[in-house]
Structure 1
Amino acid sequence: MQAVILAGGFGTRLRPVVPDLPKALAKIGSRPFLKYQLAWLASYGTREVILCLGYRSQAVLSYLSEVNTEGIQVISSIEQEPLGTAGALKHAEHLLAERFLVVNGDTFVDVNLTALVEYHYRKVSFLTMVLANVEDATAYGQVKINNEGRVVSFQEKVPGRGQVNAGVYFMEKSVLRYIPPDQPYSMERELLPKLLTRGELVYGFVHEGYFIDIGTPLNYRRAQEELPGRFM
């Protein structure tokens, strides 16, 4: 399985506690966050990762040149200008297989990837997104699915418990035809709603296990307590 890690963002929300590093290199315990993601992907047999970089890409490349990447071949796709989550995928299109996994560079979701891929094939899905249950969906926006698991709507800034986009996707490469080239484009705000509007089969795979977004100081501190003992 080929995987893509979207790690090109500026990490603005995290600057108060990680002022001088890209989020991929933010230390969780003694290891950069990227190391946790690579180890998790390797545990499911991933052998190739396309790493989409932007902000401080050279720092990430320098780190990768010095460490064990868990047996994974890491290929970098570097954007010269910020392209957003979907724009980064389009920029890396020439490197991508016919279907692939996508992981946000600031989230750790201990989802069963074997089950996710099997679900995608069973549903004949165009794009399958992992959903996580959270106590307060305000910061994420809720994702509504029907009884068959098909995504029917996105609701932004709805307080209270709900299912949210966990930042992990398995998709067909043909999804990329909906992304305009060479311009910023958002997976969450633009691409996913467009797929629903066009009637494409987008399914939600509900994950009941561990999920954390390290992109805020509060969650970054929580990750320090939880991730090292849980996965590495």
Structure 2
Amino acid sequence: MKAVIQCGGKGTRLRPHTSILPKPLMPIGARPVLELVLKWLRRNGIREVFVTTGYLGHLIRSVCGDGNQWNMRITYTQEVEPLGTIGPLSLLREQLDAPFLVLNGDVLTDLNLNQFISDHRRTHASLTIATANRPTKMDFGVIDETNGHVTGFREKPELSHLVSMGIYCMDPAILERIPSGVPFGFDDLMFQMLQEEVPVNIFKHDGMWLDIGRVDDFLKAQDVAWDEQSPAFATTVAA
């Protein structure tokens, strides 16, 4: 299976660091996060990768090259103008002719790719989203009310939401929904599919997931042992 790694964003949440480096090259220990992502894909049987670039894309190409050092083949796209989170796939219409993976270049996870891909094929959905539960701590007291009267009160509760991990399995039919040459986000795709009542599948993941585009997750990632024997590097050979 082919994989597309989205690396075109500016990483504004990690400024000023990303004024010098693109977010996928931010260091996790001694290695850039994109190297960890590529090695994880390779251990899971992925050999052909497309990397979409925009902001500081030349640095990403310089560091990763053609992928030969990881026994992979890496092909790059370059956005002249930002195309959003899903828009860059329009540059790969001819190459993505079978189900493929799409993931953000700043995601670290122990997601079982074999199970994820198998679930996508089993449901026959054109899109499957890897999801995780993420707690959010409220900074305010939350009031429940009915007809102007308080019926409940929770002091700064922690709420849990099912969120997208930034990892997707897609069928080529999705590419028909993506316009060429204009910004198109994953939110645009979701709203379009929901409006047309097109089935979208989810795969719930209970393990590790870090989005290093967030400062908190970036700092947490520094404390993980990213060596070859780490549980985070568990091999799950993709079908």
TM-score (structure 2 length as normaliser): 0.83
The match for 1:31 is: 31
Distance 2:171 2:108 in 1: 22
Give how far 1:67 is off.
Answer: 7.2
- Corresponding position of 2:178: 179
Q: Following TM superposition, by how much is the alpha carbon of 1:117 offset from its aligned partner in structure 2, in angstroms? A: 1.1
Percent identity over paired residues: 36
Question: What is the 5 A alignment of 1:1-232?
Answer: 1-65=1-65, 69-136=69-136, 160-187=159-186, 189-226=187-224, 228=226, 230=230, 231=232
SS in 2 for 1:119: helix
Q: Matched residue of 1:94: which SS?
A: coil
Q: Which residue of 2 aligns with 1:141?
A: none
- Pairwise CA RMSD of aligned residues? 1.9
Unmatched runs of 5 consecutive residues or more in structure 2: 139-157, 234-239
Q: Distance in 2 between matches of 1:120 and 1:60?
A: 30
- Residue aligned with 2:125, SS: coil
Name the count of aligned residue pairs.
211
Q: Secondary structure at the match of 1:85?
A: coil
SS at the partner of 1:103? strand
Q: Is the 8 A contact 2:67 2:74 kept in 1?
A: no
1:69 and 1:100 mapped to 2: Cα distance? 23
SS of the residue corresponding to residue 181 of structure 1 reads coil
Q: State the AA in 2 paired with 1:211.
A: W
Tell me by how many angstroms 1:115 deviates.
0.6
Structure with greater Cα Rg: 2
CA contact 1:29–1:224 (8 Å) conserved in 2: yes
Following the alignment from structure 2 to structure 1, what is the Cα–Cα distance between the partners of residues 171 and 198? Answer: 11
Residue 205 of structure 1: how far off its partner (Å): 0.3
Specify the code of the residue in structure 2 equivalent to 1:104.
N
Question: For residues 77-129 of structure 1, what are the alpha-carbon distances to aligned partners after superposition, in whole Å with 9 as ceiling and x for unaligned?
Answer: 11111101111111222222321000111112221111111111111111000
Equivalent pair of 1:37/1:108 in contact (CA under 8 Å): yes
Give the 3 Å change call, closer, same or farther, for CA 227–104 of structure 1 in structure 2: farther
